[in-house]
Amino acid sequence: MPNHFFTILSKYCQQDIVPMHMPGHKRNPLCTMPDPYSLDVTEVPGVDDLHHPEEMIRDLMDDLTKWYDSKQTYLLVNGSTCGILSAITACCYPGDKILVARNCHKSVYNAIKLLGLRPVYVYPRKLKGTMGELGIAGEIEVSEVRRLLMENPDVRCAMITSPTYEGIVSDIASIVEAVHEKNIPLVVDEAHGAHFNWLPTFPETAVRQGADLVIESLHKTLPAFTQTAVLHRTGNRIREDRLLWALQTYQSSSPSYVLMASIAKCFEYVQKEETFSAEHFVKNLNRFYEKVKDLQKLEITYCEGMDRSKIVVSTARTELTGQQLEEVLLERYGIQLEMSCGNYALGMATICDTAEHFDRFAAALCDLDRSLSYAEKGAERTFTYDIKPPEQRMYSYEAERLPVKEVPLAEAAGQTAAKDVYLYPPGVPFAVAGEIFSQEMVEVLLDGQKSGYEVRGVENNNVFVCNDKV
């Protein structure tokens, strides 16, 4: 029987497609490894043990700790999801209250449910200009963090995402100061910022700004295999024994030596000046922005302090949706973007993108821009929303215990969500299990569907809600 999976995957990877998406190595052979089968071993004498590192794994962790200036850096082979679950578990006990940015990754919400935590949500700032019109969430403001900590003195931990998927960066240093005044730890999901430590003129990593636990996905923006990540611990607010227990709980008991070797190879690459040139990457990125600065219909959006390697392309002034832009770029120009939704699409640049990648992407955007027409209604077509925080009837772990029924999304107003419901991308929940659907929320979700967003947590236009009898 033919191996269709391998055939299809190999055929795709052999195409002449510019990968403006993850993983960060971009299938660029600059960071090469031996045949993975030759490195795939188990915990035999001489190759150390991830869960009890004493030899080569310990040496790698110690090197990473020095490079990042952390108290300890840990290897993750179950992705940043594993790191987030472990970090929250290390900081919180069942029933604790946690301050959480509403735009956190779904793994944060899963941790809250698993541990029976009581979340206090801090909402991102609403951006102005094109970024705001596209519905992209802004940074977490320190004033909001301070206000919520004052109102909730029993919060045991704070958790935010910076940078976001679209590259929005929060003032971590100020948030660290506010959180530490209450003597509680700050966890930062820096999954999309693994490159910050290695690139000049880019935002400073949360590790150096004093966050207590920082999780980074190496594979997103650096030359490492998918599923590789690291977790950095700083300071003394985290019990190391509990963190190690959490890591052993959420990580595989049979960790991949291939993935660990990829982590080692990744950092070997960025440490060698003769192979890695941060200056070259920045030069290529600057040249790209210079080439696309005069676009007339398409627009490259940007805000102060943003991660410039996240390239957000707005289609709001054209007749195209973000999804249509992604399709045209792939079919006509051989450019594959990271994601698209509504009236924008996202390209991700990394240190492994070649000058040819940047030039082809810029040329494609300029050529397409010349062929496009202005939209008749312009920015009025843009899908935006501004809804009030939903009313919470119960916590998510409480909703999990109740009987469930399905109702049409259009009729969900007043019902209590039994599962998280969110627009994808970006995946920020509109309703978390235990929260009540408002009529406004239902209308936004329905409009989002019409605008090309996928509504997750909905099956056959039905949502899962808690039984009314309870």
User: For 3-62, what is each residue's pLDDT tens digit?
Assistant: 789 889 989 989 999 999 999 999 887 777 888 899 999 999 999 999 999 999 999 999
Phi, psi torsion values for 156, nearest 5 degrees: -100, -15
- Report yes or no: 109 and 81 within 8 Å, Cβ to Cβ: no
CATH class belonging to 36-271: alpha beta
Q: What is the per-residue pLDDT across 276-320, written as a single tens digit (0 to 9) for each? A: 788 889 999 999 999 999 999 999 999 889 999 999 999 999 999
| 454 against 37, higher pLDDT | 37
> Could you tell me the fold of the domain covering 19-23+275-381?
Aspartate Aminotransferase, domain 1 (3.90.1150)
With a cut of 60, say whether residue 381 has pLDDT above it: no
- What are the residue boundaries of the structural domains of the chain, listed by start? 19-23+275-381, 36-271, 396-466
CB 458 within 8 A of CB 409: yes
Residue type present at position 407: V
Sheet containing 72-76: order of strands: 72-76, 229-233, 213-217, 186-189, 155-161, 97-101, 118-122
* Measured distance CA(127)–CA(338) in Å, rounded: 22
pLDDT score, position 470: 46
3-state secondary structure of 183: coil
Longest dimension (CA), the chain: 69
**Residue 161 pLDDT class (50, 70, 90 cuts):** very high
Q: What whole-number percentage of the chain has pLDDT above 70?
A: 95
- Strand intervals (E) in 22-94: 72-76
Instruction: Report the residue count for the chain.
Output: 470
Average model confidence (pLDDT) across the chain: 92
* pLDDT of 246 strictly over 60: yes
What is the rounded CA–CA span in Å between residue 100 and residue 111? 11
What DSSP string describes 438-462? PHHHHHHHHHHHHTT-EEETEETTE
CA angle, 352 then 358 then 361, to 5°: 125
The total of other beta-carbon atoms located within 10 Å of residue 302's CB is 16
Amino acid at 239: R
Q: Which of 28-37, 121-130, 173-182 has the lowest mean pLDDT?
A: 28-37
Lowest-pLDDT range of 263-277, 307-321, 377-391, 431-445: 377-391
Torsion over CA: 192, 195, 200, 206 (sign): positive
In whole angstroms, give the CA distance from residue 323 to residue 337. Answer: 10
Ranges 7-21, 79-93, 185-199, 449-463: which has the least confidence = 449-463
In CATH, 396-466 is 1.10.3720.10 = no
Residue with tokens 């996905």: 217
pLDDT exceeds cutoff 90 at 389: no
Element (H, E) at 81: helix 79-91
Residue 380, pLDDT score: 45
Domain pair 19-23+275-381 / 36-271, same fold: no
Q: What tokens appear for 71 in the block? A: 């108290």
